[in-house]
Amino acid sequence: MTETTGRFALPFILPGQAQKELFHNEALAMIDAVLHPSVEEVAVDPPGAPGIGESWIVGAGASGLWDGRADAIATWTIGGWRFAVPVPGMMAWDRAAGWWRHWTGAEWSDGALAASSIQIGGQQVLGPRLSEVPSPSGGTTIDTEARDAITALIATLKSHGLID
């Protein structure tokens, strides 16, 4: 039997183990840190006066007590810093940036989320990028205002990445 869980290395209570409450409390502290995490921001230096339960994503080149802990989620607890190594697909709300970050397995995202489509109220509002829409041309009657409006619409769709 292993002594820790497979994903976040939370400690198991083992048969005959002394001071089981220490292992149980350590597991609860780590669950509190990684279950739907919310981080203050990405930082390389530990804050001077963190609040209990506050978390940060440790940035590259971290120093002090965070040295060598790049990409981990650092959470301040009564017992000091606890570090959780992220697993692929893990998401954390970045309070300072105001967006979700997810761990790709190699790095924390910059807020971009990958999806095959986005639905609101059961209706798809965004899906795969479609092919380019040609600008209006030709015809016997030319309405320049309508053509300008269509050209502006096409440019907007392209700038939003909805069409090539």
Contact by Cβ (8 Å): 127, 134 = no
Partners of residue 100 on adjacent β-strands: 93
First-to-last C-alpha distance (Å) of the chain: 54
* Average of per-residue pLDDT values in the chain: 88
Contact by Cβ (8 Å): 23, 12 = yes
d(CA 71, CA 119): 31
With CA atoms as reference, report the closest residue to 109 among 86, 127, 91.
91
Per-residue pLDDT tens over the stretch 69-120: 999 999 998 889 999 999 999 999 999 999 999 999 999 999 888 888 888 8
Q: How confident is the model at residue 8 (pLDDT cuts 50, 70, 90)?
A: confident
Q: Would you tell me how many other CB atoms lie within 10 Å of the CB of residue 53? A: 13
Copy the structure tokens of residue 118.
């986005």
pLDDT for the residue 37: 92
d(CA 41, CA 28): 23
d(CA 164, CA 154): 10
Residues 6 or more apart whose Cβ sits within 8 Å of residue 47 = 40, 54, 56
